[in-house]
Structure 1
């Protein structure tokens, strides 16, 4: 089969490898679609730890081709979405239900081979059934949406509150829609790209700010005097972290969601956090949210099609991941058989 594998830092190649065989409890899944995540670029660059060599790709869906011994819930021909994050179930974090913080976490597309291939192995416990009618491209959005839902769980948005979303990629666009569904009265998207600002207004944002043309903090506070109740940092750059803290109103919350390269440090003012009682929390991965995300996508609750900028085959993926995203791009989806 064809697979795109990380062979070393900044080295990604399309190669021919043997099609894996399902072991006990495994599903062999024919990959229909796999989304390209910003984290994949961090992984390729060595800014987020992975196994090497490894097939990347953690936002996938597909059809069960074969099942291993002991599988009871799925059979060949059924469609699934895979939760890539495999927790051990035994460590202290798992026993507290915080499976995203598992001490022995292994992720499909990170530590074990993922969905940038024609086939992927998925443990039965990580699979969620999909309707036959769901477009494959929509299935590739379930994993990122699951992560966003955890971010909303952490933020605890109350209807009528004000929210700033920092970053206009696919995560920012999903967060805008989720904030609207949560009842936020003011939703401000902050991004430099005009195309993304226009789209955000059409899918739920009430205002947008161009940080290249304005002091983003001052512009935000002009829209929401005193700052906003909730800041969702979705860009993963030092400036948005610092700016996000300044944008939060006293008693507000900043949710750190974007992936900043490992080792990057950001100066903060503890006194400001103290006297304004700012809550700063991380939201990592998708604990217990994959099924909710699948249901939302299947119900058509969110605008998905307008977030797809392009579809590509496996042969185009190495160059696409090695280059910065084209201007205005929201989401690239890989179709391994296209």
Structure 2
């Protein structure tokens, strides 16, 4: 039996580098040799606090790789090709799946949390989940397709239009992708808010100069000074009550607010915040994951095409590229916040 190296979550907080059986592709699947896999912010509580849906599990859902072998029913001309991977495996039977809303599938599988993911040398995935790579894209760029698709989905949910003034609350990896998408989409002004000055400095180094720390300045006054009336669209990307309130206060009358941040605790809303929604007649929508259906838009293909065309620049967002054997230490660094990071990613190159 062939084996491979993988980081296996054997229980909450028990992540170990182990030798495990190398997977074999079943019907409709391919065997992917991992080229790169990002560590999502959600991976940290999944590993250290919440656990996965079963143990043992190999985490990792932001990944790309090269097709090494195919199972029955998959054409072998795919062998050797690079691809990004949509990690959600829908049931294809529920009402959501029937209309192509796979992110709201009621019985889905998910690589890295419900089944083995890409903190490993190899993984098997359905061929349907592959987004084939155009020439010139690296494994690292392809591994950023997942957060890039999540970002574009949030903006589409918010109805972003040309000339919109946009506030993004939360300047992490997806926040900066939101900013890039908004600028590429024709936003007239892109503003970023975060309580971490290091994140704001990183955003400025990546070309976004309109930044604010809400703990040091009144966001509403700062927004009004720069826009005159408030923003057309605010995206809450931090998952914190104060961030949500700031978005509601920043939006202009008749504006739109998208709730995207994954909260780590209760998301209470003050009376004033509630009044902001009422009196300004705001549209507040949620967003979850991304659209993978061909109609009306496959956001994964949009993301990969935008990276290939240079509209979205993701390599500069990777602050900590590490080799596979260093991944465990990098994850521990993220947990303990030992240093500033934006995107941590294990990569073969």
**Under a length normalisation based on structure 1, what TM-score does the superposition of the two structures give?**
0.92
Shift, 1:123, TM fit:
0.4
Taking the aligned partners of 1:41 and 1:236, their CA distance within structure 2 comes to 15
Aligned residue for 1:17, secondary structure, equals: strand
Partner in structure 1 of residue 295 of structure 2: none
Any conservation in 2 of the 1:176–1:203 contact (CA below 8 Å)?
no
Taking the aligned partners of 1:136 and 1:294, their CA distance within structure 2 comes to 11
RMSD of aligned C-alpha atoms? 2.1
Partner in structure 2 of residue 308 of structure 1: 318
Taking the aligned partners of 1:246 and 1:51, their CA distance within structure 2 comes to 41
Match of 1:292 among 291, 299, 302: 302
Structure 2 residue 325 is matched with structure 1 residue 334? no
- Give unpaired runs (5+ residues) of structure 1: none
Higher relative contact order (CA closer than 8 Å, sequence separation 6+): 1
Instruction: Sort the Cα spacing of 1:146 and 1:79 in 2 relative to 1 into closer, same or farther, 3 A.
Output: same
Taking the aligned partners of 1:74 and 1:114, their CA distance within structure 2 comes to 24
Any conservation in 2 of the 1:187–1:204 contact (CA below 8 Å)?
no
Taking the aligned partners of 1:181 and 1:73, their CA distance within structure 2 comes to 37
* Residues 224-263 of structure 1: CA deviation (Å, up to 9, x unaligned): 34421111112222321222222222211111112113x6
Bigger shift: residues 46-55 or 288-297: 46-55
* Residues 273-327 of structure 1: CA deviation (Å, up to 9, x unaligned): 2232122211111112111111112222222221110111333323332324455
Bigger shift: residues 233-242 or 109-118: 233-242
Any conservation in 1 of the 2:7–2:18 contact (CA below 8 Å)?
yes
Taking the aligned partners of 1:257 and 1:332, their CA distance within structure 2 comes to 21
Count of residue pairs the alignment pairs up: 336
Partner in structure 2 of residue 61 of structure 1: 64
Match of 1:252 among 255, 273, 276: 255
Aligned residue for 1:259, secondary structure, equals: coil
Match of 1:264 among 263, 266, 271: 266
Aligned residue for 1:329, secondary structure, equals: coil
Instruction: Sort the Cα spacing of 1:287 and 1:224 in 2 relative to 1 into closer, same or farther, 3 A.
Output: same
Taking the aligned partners of 1:4 and 1:332, their CA distance within structure 2 comes to 15
**Under a length normalisation based on structure 2, what TM-score does the superposition of the two structures give?**
0.89
